[in-house]
Chain A
Amino acid sequence: MINFTNVTKIFKSDILSQPLTALDDVSFSIPEGSMVGFLGANGAGKTTSLKIIMDFIRPTKGQVSFSPELGRNKLEILKNIGFLPERPYFYPTLSGRDFLMFMGQLSGLTTAQIKTEIYKWASIFKIDFALSREIKTYSKGMLQRIGFLATIMHQPKIIILDEPLSGLDPIGRKELKDVIVQVHKEGKTVFFSSHIVPDVEEICDRVIFLKDGKLAYDGSVMSLMQSGKKQDYFISAHVVEGFMPVTSFKGVTKLPNNLEKYLVDSTEKDALLSELISNKFNVVGVEMQKPSLEEIFYNTRG
């Protein structure tokens, strides 16, 4: 749907300042129907990439192209995109309803269509009670939710969100994630940046990593997890008190009822298992150690 090809962005605020390379020859694509997480530390270039996609800023080199399903000119393409910026603060003296009317009208919706969309989503977002209030009285979570409502109300084909989950409490994050998943199930492509790695791991099927303005990874979450697998195993067994295996192991966690959980390298796994079985200990579990996406993310950053 969106191809981001060899994009470089260099910022130079004035003649005397050093040029800052925010993006260095970055290429990736957003396939139709996918849910793509855009990860990277602060300053990695995520927001800059999104701004280039949305044509808020122009790349120094490279280009962004859109598939014909999104439209043939800029205005047609924008009609099919829903964008929510990071930490938005909308017109403070407008009421929530006015703001949604404003956004809906700009997207070409009729008043009746806007009202239908508000009716459909406002209760799901738990914002219906505050629609008549001025936006300046909204909490951060409410701002995020009304912003998200404004982003999807015109039925865009792709939704682009910049840090939609940041600053929300766990319940707010869960609610918003549920809605993102629901919208994705309805057939929308979702592309969102985040620094909350577990959220991306939880709901995305694809992930793009940026590191210092360069592409560090672009592919499925599953492949990334596979690539990050450590060759270590946990072996749990009920043993007698004071038992010390002859086989070398990396660590042990003592649990109630003489249950011990050994961490061993794959090369020592079979030897330790044999030793435990030959001692007639009850082996209750063998599992491969799975690193979280967060661990992989931090390893990639390092």
Chain B
Amino acid sequence: MTYQKVKIVAYYTFKEILKSKILINVFFVGLILMLLTYVATEFTYGVPERVALDFGLGMLSLSSIGISLFLGVNLLSKEIDSRTVYMVVSRPVPRFAFILGKIIGLIGIQFVNVFLLSTMIVSVTYLLGGAITPLVWWSIGFTFLESILLLLVVLLMSLLANNILSTLISVVVLLLGHAVKETQNVGFVQNNPFIKTILEVYHFFLPGFYKLNLKDYILYKVTLPVDYLMSSLSYGLSYSVFLLMVIIYLFNKKNLD
């Protein structure tokens, strides 16, 4: 019964966002990809497919981050401001079913975005004679997972702060999450116990987005053991489930005023 309610909320969330023409960005990103591919073909010597793939995966990442940030931050605040949330939670729908449905609907949009863009990227790379290694598929999957993780971070922040603050904090968490590992290896940090401890604590609690970034390995054709990939996958999934539980708990307690 509750599962049914989650499905209904997810379906209409997906439909509403889809009709809001958010996926028009796929068209623009696709256009940019074509242009960059043309430029890469003209100006690079012998490796246009690698440049196209690198640009493509980078833009896929940017596009999904953009969707997570802008849709995620508005997902609840817009509902509360326009009072549409009252129409839903005044029905026999548990709050957790509402928030879970909203999140799944948004993840559905992310899936369509990643699917369309990655199809484009893979096709262009293939047409330019590039090889589509298994790591490319892993990278696309991890970009999708990264966008889900970021979406949950943004949602969590939007339950605690206003829109601007939650977007800013989420961007900072994303940037630090990508940079934390490299920063820990810097000599200055290694020699400074205080900063080292701060980074270790940060690394322990906040999401390490770097684990989901495989683009450099693809560019430099480094192979990665399946164990590493599986551990990154489990990390991303378990962190997402943890954030989801925190979001559901907070939303259940939240005053919708």
How many chain A residues touch B (CB < 8 A): the figure is: 35
Complex partner residue of B8 from A75, A84, A106, CB under 8 angstroms: A106
Partner of A91, one of B84, B86, B90, B255: B84
Q: Is B5 an interface residue (CB 8 A)?
A: yes
Across the interface, do B257 and A79 meet the contact criterion of CB distance under 8 Å?
no
Contact indicator B8/A102 (Cβ below 8 Å): yes
CB < 8 Å A-B pair total: 79
Q: Determine whether A218 belongs to the interface, using a CB cutoff of 8 Å to chain B.
A: no
B16's closest neighbor in chain A, by CB?
A91
B20 interfacial contact with A, CB 8 Å: yes
Q: In the assembled complex, which residues on chain A have CB atoms less than 8 Å from the CB atom of B9?
A: 106
Segment from A50-58, A123-131, A174-182, A251-259 that makes contact with B: A50-58
Knowing A51-B256, A106-B93 are in contact, say whether A94-B83 is a contact too (CB < 8 A).
no
Say yes or no: is A78 at the interface (Cβ < 8 Å to chain B).
yes
Chain B contacts for A89, CB-based, 8 A: 82-84
Interface residues of A (CB under 8 A from B): 11, 48, 51, 54, 56-58, 75-76, 78-79, 81, 83-94, 98, 102-103, 105-108, 134, 147, 150, 154
Q: Is B39 an interface residue (CB 8 A)?
A: no
Task: Determine the residue in chain A with the shortest Cβ distance to B255.
Answer: A57
Cβ contacts B68-83/A at 8 Å (1 or 0 each): 0000000000000011
Residue from the list B5, B86, B93, B94 in contact with A56, Cβ < 8 A? B86
Distance in angstroms between the alpha carbons of A102 and B10 in the assembled complex: 11
A48, A86, A106: residue with the most chain B Cβ atoms closer than 10 Å = A106
A98 touches B256 (CB 8 A): no
**Chain A, Cβ-Cβ closest to B21:** A93
Please report the C-alpha to C-alpha distance between residue A102 and residue B8 in the assembled complex, in whole angstroms. Answer: 7
B87 at the interface (CB under 8 A from A): yes
A-chain residues with CB within 8 Å of residue B82 when the two chains form the complex: 88-90
User: Do A51 and B8 touch across chains, with their CB atoms under 8 A apart?
Assistant: no
Candidates B15, B88, B92; contact of A94 at CB < 8 Å: B15
Q: How far is the CA of A207 from the CA of B83 in the complex (A)?
A: 26
Known: A90-B82, A93-B16. 14 other contacts (CB 8 A): A54-B86, A54-B90, A57-B256, A58-B255, A76-B92, A86-B83, A88-B83, A90-B87, A103-B87, A105-B8, A106-B91, A107-B92, A134-B19, A154-B91
Residues of chain B within 8 A (CB-CB) of A108 are 92
Residues of B within 8 A of A78 (CB): 90-93
Does residue B89 face the partner (Cβ distance < 8 Å to A)? yes
CA distance A84 to B90 in the complex (A): 9
